[in-house]
Amino acid sequence: MKQEILSTIQKGKEKGFTEKRVCELLQISPRRVRAWKVKEDLEDKKPGPINASHALLEEEREAIRAMAVNEEYVDDSHRILAVKASDEGLFQASASSVYRELRKNGLTTDRSGRSVRNGKSKKPERPELTCPNQRWCWDISYLPTLVKGIFLYLYVLLDEYSRKVIAWRVSWYLTHKEGMELIDDGLEKEGLDGGDVELPDLYNDRGVQMKAKSFKQMLKDLGMSQIFSRPRTPNDNPFVESAFAIIKGDPNYPGGFVDVMDAVIYFARYFDWYNNEKYHGQIGYVTPDQKHRGLDKAIIAERERRKVKVLEERIRINRERSQRNYHEILSTKRKMCSLIKSKNGK
User: What proportion of the chain, given as a percentage, has pLDDT over 70?
Assistant: 93
Which amino acid is present at 279?
Y
d(CA 182, CA 155): 7
User: Distance (Å, rounded) from C-alpha 100 to C-alpha 104?
Assistant: 6
Averaged confidence pLDDT in the chain: 87
Query: What is d(CA 43, CA 46) in angstroms, rounded to the nearest whole number?
Result: 10
pLDDT digits (tens, 9 = 90+) for 130-162: 999 999 999 999 999 999 889 999 999 999 999
> Residues 52, 53, 57, 58: is their CA dihedral positive or negative?
positive
Cβ distance 277 to 176 under 8 Å? no
Strand order in the sheet with 165-171: 165-171, 151-159, 135-144, 201-204, 226-228
Distance (Å, whole) CA 278 – CA 98: 47
Residues 212, 226 contacting (CB under 8 angstroms): no
> pLDDT for 75-134, tens place per residue?
788 888 888 888 888 888 898 999 999 999 988 887 766 554 555 567 788 899 999 999
Tell me the whole-structure pTM to 2 decimals: 0.62
The Cα–Cα gap between 138 and 207 comes to 11
Q: Is the pLDDT of residue 278 over 70?
A: yes
pLDDT on residue 119: 54
Task: Say if CB 138 and CB 240 are below 8 A apart.
Answer: yes
- Residue 28 scores a pLDDT above 70: yes
CA pair distance 91, 135, nearest whole angstrom: 41
Q: Which helix (H) or strand (E) holds 138?
A: strand 135-144
In this structure, are residues 276 and 163 in contact, taking their beta carbons and an 8 Å threshold? no
Q: What is the pLDDT of residues 195-241, one digit of tens each?
A: 788 999 999 998 899 999 999 999 999 999 999 988 777 788 899 99
Give the DSSP letter string of 162-179.
T--EEEEEEES---HHHH
> Which pLDDT score is estimated for 288?
96
Q: What average pLDDT does the segment 36-52 reach? A: 69
Looking only at the bridges linking them, the beta strands covering 135-144 and 151-159 are antiparallel
Q: How far apart are the first and last CA of the chain?
A: 112
